[in-house]
Amino acid sequence: MAQTQARRGRAAAPAAQDGRRPRWRPIGVTLLVLALLAAATWVLLGSRLLVVRQVEVSGTELVRHDRLVAAAGVRLGLPLARLDTDEVRARVQRIREVESATVRRVWPGTVRIEVRERVPLVAVERAGRFWQIDRFGVTVTESAQRPAALPVLNVAAPRPGDPATDAALRVVQELPERLARRLTAVDAPSPESVTLRLAAADGAGPLTVVWGPPGRAEEKSRLVEALRRTPAGRSARTIDVSSPEVVTTR
């Protein structure tokens, strides 16, 4: 009887020891994970290992590199993980020549800013200077001389959101290349009465095209070209395609 009880006691001891191991093992694993997380947090946020060391800029022609970097306001030495890329992008996009920008962290220590600049579409003359505006009506740059590659836009109030300005810019964007390269000026007294001034070409003189509102660009351009191949069209100074169903010349 005593031997049986002794064997039971010896058998119970390992069971008790086995029962203690699972209680300590999770605690040890948890402490190890916490230590690793603390070390990683220190490396990312507190150490000098992963900080901003340089700012790279691409996609700029109109904006000087130093001006864009200054506007971005990225502080060298800042832990890269603390950089707010949305704030940097917002600051860069306040530059008038910038249409959009992306900002990325490039580990271990680079901030990369990729810029899409605004593209001048037309020029507007004001007080003897020429203001180049993009497809949204935003002023990109200005000069004392008329830009040779841009048509002149004539509207009462050239600004973003102005209906006549928006209509004229849409018409210019919709024009087929064969007409766009001859475009010298655009008049837009109202959104429905956009008029194009085309340079002379193929032995015919300069041409005024009453285009009307935006839309149906391919159809209107085909009508203009078809009429220019006729004797009446070649001698016409004005072609009205504002209503493609009833085309007139004069």
Least confident of 7-21, 23-37, 54-68, 173-187: 7-21
CATH 3.10.20.30 given to domain 54-117: no
Euclidean distance between CA atoms 58 and 50, whole angstroms:
22
Q: What is the length of the chain? A: 250
**Closest alpha carbon to 143 in 116, 161, 165, 120:** 120
Percent of the chain with pLDDT over 70: 80
Query: Is residue 97 classed as helix, strand or coil in its secondary structure?
Result: coil
Mean pLDDT calculated for residue range 224-238: 89
Gap between the Cα atoms of 119 and 122, Å rounded: 9
DSSP annotation string for 145-193: SPPTTSPEEE-SS-STT-HHHHHHHHHHHHS-HHHHTTEEEEE-SSTT-
Answer whether 54-117 and 122-249 agree in fold: no
pLDDT digits (tens, 9 = 90+) for 42-100: 444 555 568 999 999 999 999 999 999 999 999 999 999 999 999 999 999 999 999 99
**CATH topology for the 122-249 domain:** Rossmann fold (3.40.50)
Residue spans of the domains in the chain: they are 54-117, 122-249
